[in-house]
Amino acid sequence: MNFAYYPGCSLHASAREYDESTLAVFQALEVGLEEINDWNCCGTTALPSTNYLFSLLVPARNLALAEQKGQIVAVACNSCFVSLRRAKSVYEDNPEWRSKISEAMKRINFNFSGKVQVRHILDIVVNEIGLERIAANVKRPLHGLKAVPYYGCQIARPLNEFAHPELPTEMDRLLQTLGVRVLRYDHKTKCCGGSHITTKEADTLGLNQELLEEAQMRGAEAIVVSCPLCQLNLDAYQEKINQRFGTNYQIPVIYFTQLLGAALGIPLKKLGLKRNLVPARRLVEKYIEEVM
């Protein structure tokens, strides 16, 4: 089982721990991830507001590169996932834009058929590798760890084949397989504000305060995420949120791949836990339990 891996810009920069833990987990599960050679930024959600055609061409180039390998594209970033799927969907469903995309791709000597499949790594872990196989490979279950799963607003929207747009359960079920006590979390698909943290900071801090408040109210020791921007907003701005709202949040915000890797017995230093700004390593160490 091999996939064309599209890490996206964040996983090579601010979210290196997501990249490190993803690669370590897939290696441990003997699933191939071959990084797409010469990939480019997907344009994320900002580019469509400036040049719609370009916002389709930028991700389409990455998909064309994957098509050359004949592999399914595995995407870790929620925003990249939406961007790549949007380009594929528009190409498939809209003849006018398909013609424009095809013409532009030919000018850069690329052939693109739109047939390549795009899947989020959470989907691959839960539905392709499967929870039964995950359970069989758990070496250090995280029994007792109380966490809430935060999917963010993009992974299930627009409606796709693997997650419910309002009540996704994929991460819930995966964490339960690892021994985590998954708590109710009504904000699991609420927006964190995304990149508005750079332009509308006050509003975005308010959105993140709501996410942290419910997590704390539920008794969560950690928030588990699948999106680099969600992780950044919740992790990097907790101190500023505390100053603004008079709170005292100290909730680790951990990628699901980091917890999965810990449960699989991967050395914690390979999972990037030292990179989390709100300390996460000690929390994970507390709940690691060797299987007798």
Confidence band (pLDDT; 50, 70, 90) for 106? very high
Contacts 24+ apart (CB under 8 A), 246-250: 247/209, 247/212, 247/213, 249/212, 249/216, 250/278
Mean pLDDT for the chain overall: 95
CATH of 138-287, one of 3.40.50.2300, 3.40.50.11810, 3.40.30.10, 3.30.360.10: 3.40.50.11810
As a whole number of angstroms, the distance between CA 224 and CA 178 comes to 13
What pLDDT, in 10s, does the model give residues 116-157? Answer: 999 999 999 999 999 999 999 999 999 999 999 999 999 877
The CATH T-level fold of domain 2-120 is Glutathione S-transferase Yfyf (Class Pi); Chain A, domain 2 (1.20.1050)
Domains of the chain, by residue range, sit at: 2-120, 138-287
